[in-house]
């Protein structure tokens, strides 16, 4: 059955001028399927989404971001297809799970048009066929996926709590880096670190064999993730190769939210390079800097103008960063603490990966 056959015919009303929490495509976290809000002084042209509506992003690079609305009268960008489901025909959560998979994303990709920002039309989304079942069977499947999703959320929150613990211990040991409560000497980042821009390559350089090039997608939750790899056949200079304890940073991205995310290079299975929209920060203070780069104190130093949006991070911007510098023995103590917490995170991450694999296999079984 086509999605359009499951929808109410009522159109969503337009939003009037004013100050509203306004949902844009960049607010969707594709990994967690959650969203945040942005305040806009004017949202003319937006429409209201309502509770249990499903939002599907039509525009790359976030095309395929899918979420289900949790409240009523949420103003959203016109770049979302809003699926207003008739729950007498289909459970909203069933449709949500039906399209929250690779099969649907591949369908969007095949039907996208445009060179710079490939876009899938809302009509193509409405005409997508799903495996329609009776209500009782829909409810059984929704219950299965809700239970697994709950386990994924619990484990994800555990990882977040560990990350917060690291940040708390950072402040406990080193004080607030902005006010420098511990009265450490202030240094420029360039005094204690080197940074390098990444490798530029062409589509014809991409190969099934060759050197792995780390990109933004290889940073997930401040860790390296090797699910989405690109290899190139090139002679890569040594300064474009990563080393143990380097900090990999996303320096440019179509989504401003991803600019500045970092991961520590640790226990690589093979030698790897890093891509053009990435930077490497190399320093003996890597444990200290890794946490510092994830703090608001760092982002405020590299923000230009009145906005907190960062479109790119350049070497010159890093040259202007000033930060307190603790003693090396304190940094080593912090590094040891982080490694202990990382061991706890590793166990949770392994369990999370297993749960996610189960989720994905059941997705394939029911909707693939």
Same domain? For 311 and 341 the reply is no
Q: How far apart are CA 39 and CA 282, in angstroms?
A: 37
- Helix or strand holding residue 111 (H, E): none
172 SS3 class: helix
Q: How far apart are CA 98 and CA 295, in angstroms?
A: 37
Closest CA to 2 of 141, 124, 112, 136: 124
> Tokens in use for 334?
């912090």
Same domain? For 189 and 303 the reply is yes
Query: Residues 6 or more apart from 21 whose CB is under 8 A from it?
Result: 37, 38, 39, 74, 75
What pLDDT is stored for residue 257 in this prediction? 77
Q: Quote the Cα angle for 34-40-42, to 5°.
A: 135
Same domain? For 90 and 128 the reply is yes
Domain membership flag for residue 127: yes
What pLDDT is stored for residue 22 in this prediction? 74
Segments forming the whole domain that contains residue 23 = 3-132
Same domain? For 313 and 256 the reply is yes
99: left (phi over 0), alpha (psi -120 to 50) or beta: alpha
What pLDDT is stored for residue 305 in this prediction? 44
What pLDDT is stored for residue 274 in this prediction? 96
Q: How far apart are CA 333 and CA 89, in angstroms?
A: 60
Question: What is the DSSP-derived secondary structure letter of residue 101?
Answer: S
Query: Residues 6 or more apart from 357 whose CB is under 8 A from it?
Result: none
Average pLDDT for consecutive 10-residue bins of the chain (368 residues)? 78 64 71 64 74 86 76 81 91 93 86 80 90 93 96 93 94 95 96 95 90 93 88 92 96 83 92 95 97 92 61 91 96 96 93 94 89
- Beta-bridge partners for 247: 264, 281
CB 85 within 8 A of CB 52: yes
What pLDDT is stored for residue 24 in this prediction? 76
Q: How far apart are CA 44 and CA 124, in angstroms?
A: 25
CB 193 within 8 A of CB 285: yes
Domain membership flag for residue 180: no
Same domain? For 146 and 206 the reply is no
> Tokens in use for 119?
């876009």
Q: How far apart are CA 8 and CA 243, in angstroms?
A: 55
CB 249 within 8 A of CB 279: yes
Q: What is the CA radius of gyration of the chain?
A: 23
Domain count, the chain: 3
Cα dihedral: 255, 257, 258, 264 (round 10): 180
What pLDDT is stored for residue 19 in this prediction? 62
Domain membership flag for residue 220: yes
Same domain? For 139 and 122 the reply is no
Domain membership flag for residue 167: no
Same domain? For 20 and 101 the reply is yes
Domain membership flag for residue 172: no
Same domain? For 10 and 96 the reply is yes
| Location of structure tokens 């876009």 | 119
> Tokens in use for 308?
């907190």
Question: What is the DSSP-derived secondary structure letter of residue 275?
Answer: B
What pLDDT is stored for residue 62 in this prediction? 64
CATH number at residue 310: 3.90.220.20
What pLDDT is stored for residue 3 in this prediction? 82
Question: Burial level of 339, CB count in 10 A (0-12/13-18/19+)?
Answer: exposed
Kindly report whether the global pTM for this prediction surpasses the value 0.85: no
Same domain? For 201 and 301 the reply is yes
140 SS3 class: helix
Same domain? For 196 and 274 the reply is yes
């Amino acid at each position: 059955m086509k999605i359009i056959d499951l929808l109410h015919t009522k159109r969503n009303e337009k939003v009037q001028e004013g100050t509203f929490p306004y949902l844009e495509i960049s607010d969707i976290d594709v990994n967690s399927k959650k969203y945040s809000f942005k305040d806009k002084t004017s949202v003319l042209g937006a429409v209201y989404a309502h509770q249990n509506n499903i939002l599907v992003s039509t525009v790359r690079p976030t095309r395929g971001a899918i979420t289900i609305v949790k409240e009523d009268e949420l103003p959203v960008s016109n770049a979302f297809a809003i699926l207003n489901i008739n729950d007498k025909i289909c459970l909203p959560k069933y449709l949500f799970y039906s399209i929250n998979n690779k099969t649907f994303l591949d369908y969007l990709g095949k039907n996208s048009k445009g060179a710079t920002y490939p876009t899938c039309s809302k009509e193509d989304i409405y005409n997508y066929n799903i495996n329609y079942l009776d209500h009782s069977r829909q409810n059984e499947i929704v219950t299965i996926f809700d239970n697994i999703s709950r386990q994924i959320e619990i484990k994800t929150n555990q990882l977040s709590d560990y990350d917060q613990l690291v940040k708390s211990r950072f402040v406990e040991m080193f004080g607030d880096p902005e006010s420098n409560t511990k009265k450490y000497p202030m240094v420029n980042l360039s005094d204690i670190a080197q940074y390098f821009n990444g490798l530029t390559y062409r589509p014809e350089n991409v190969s099934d064999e060759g050197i792995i090039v780390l990109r933004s997608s290889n940073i997930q939750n401040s860790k390296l993730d090797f699910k989405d790899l690109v290899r190139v056949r090139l002679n890569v200079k040594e300064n474009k190769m990563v080393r143990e304890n380097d900090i990999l940073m996303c320096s440019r991205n179509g989504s401003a939210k991803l600019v500045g995310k970092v991961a520590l290079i640790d226990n690589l299975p093979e030698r790897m390079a890093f891509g053009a929209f990435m930077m490497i920060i190399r320093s003996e203070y890597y444990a200290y800097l890794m946490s510092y780069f994830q703090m608001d104190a760092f982002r405020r130093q590299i923000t230009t103008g009145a906005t907190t949006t960062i479109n790119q991070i350049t070497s010159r911007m890093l040259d202007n960063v000033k930060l307190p510098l603790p003693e090396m023995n304190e940094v080593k103590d912090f590094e040891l603490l982080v490694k202990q917490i990382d061991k706890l995170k590793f166990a949770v991450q392994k369990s999370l990966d297993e749960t996610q694999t189960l989720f994905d296999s059941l997705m394939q079984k029911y909707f693939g």
